[in-house]
Homo-oligomer: A and B are copies of this chain.
Amino acid sequence: MSPDPRRDESEFLANYDPRDYDPVAVTVDVVALTIRDGALHVLLVRRGAAPYEGMWALPGGFVQAGGPLQGTGAEDLPDAAVRELAEETGLSAKGGVLGRVHLEQLGTYGSPGRDPRMRVISVAHLAFAPELPDPEAGGDAADAAWVPVDALGLAESGDQRPGTTRRLAFDHARILSDGLERARGKLEYTPLATAFCGGEFTIPELRSVYEAVWGEELHAGNFHRKVLSVPGFVESTGATSDRGGRRGGPRPRLYRAGDARLLHPALLRPSREEEIR
C-alpha cells in the first residue's frame, strides 16, 4: 500500500505538506568486502561528528529522494549505494574500479532508536570487490580504510550476544555480521567468489578466497576437483601463471569466471554442520 489512498494523485500533490507525515530518513549503508593479503577486509569510514564521533562505521548516507515531484536528483537504491561508496572513499564510480564490484541488497534496518537523532531506515547493501587501492576519505568521512574483519572482534555468525560487538557506530556491527553471513552463504551456491578475484585467477587463488571468507582451510585436491567439475563456474584461459606459489610449487593454470549464475552442485562449507540447530 501507499500514502493515504483516499486522495488521488493531483489532489495529493496540491495538498502535499511534509508535516503531515512523521519524518523518516532513508539511508543506504554498504558492507564492502575484499581480500587483502589472504584476509577478508571490510571498508570502513571514521565518523567526523557526533553521534559516535571518531568511531568507525560503514560507508553510507542519504538517499536522494528528489522531492515530491521525483524529478532530477531522485536515485535508485543501488545507485545511491555506489555513489556513497565513491564519495566517501575517493574510488571512482561506474567505469572505474567500482564498475567491477558485485552489489546486492543485504537488508533493511529500521528499529526505533537505532539512530539517536531521528527515525532512520537504512537499506544495507553488500559489495564484493577485487583488490582495490586504499580509499581516500571524502564527504562526511574523517578517514577511510580497508580493515581486516578479524580485527573487529565480531561475534561469530548467528551469535548475537550483546557486548561482543561494540566497536562500530550505530547497529553497524550487526549489519556487518549479517553481511558476512550472507557472503559466506553466497559463496556456497553462486560463483561470486570470482568477484573477489581479478579478471584472471588460479584455482589456488580462488581457494584462498573461500578460505578467507569462510575462515577455515579447505582440502586443496578436493576443491580443485570440485571447481572444475561444476559446469560454468570457471573456464580455462589456456595460459599459465608466470610464477609458482610463494613458497614453491609448479605454476598454476589461469582461469576466468564462467557463465553460470548458480553452482550445481553447491560447494558446501564443512562447518555448516555446527549451525544446523
Contact = CB atoms under 8 A, between A and B. Distances in A.
Contact of A49 (B6, B59, B115, B272): B6
Interface stretch (A60-68, A128-136, A195-203, A209-217): A60-68
Nearest to A139: B1
A161 interface: no
A273 B143 CA distance: 46
- Taken together, the copies of this chain in the complex come to 2
A276 B117 contact: no
A146 to B, nearest CB: 18
A178 to B, nearest CB: 11
Q: Is the interface of A mostly helix, strand, loop or mixed?
A: loop
Interface residues of A, number: 77
Nearest to A60: B1
A70 interface: yes
Interface string A50-62: 1101000111111
Interface of A: 1-3, 5-9, 12-13, 16, 18-19, 21-27, 29, 45, 47-51, 53, 57-68, 70, 74-77, 84, 88, 105, 107-108, 110-113, 115-121, 123, 140, 170, 231-232, 259-264, 272-273, 275-277
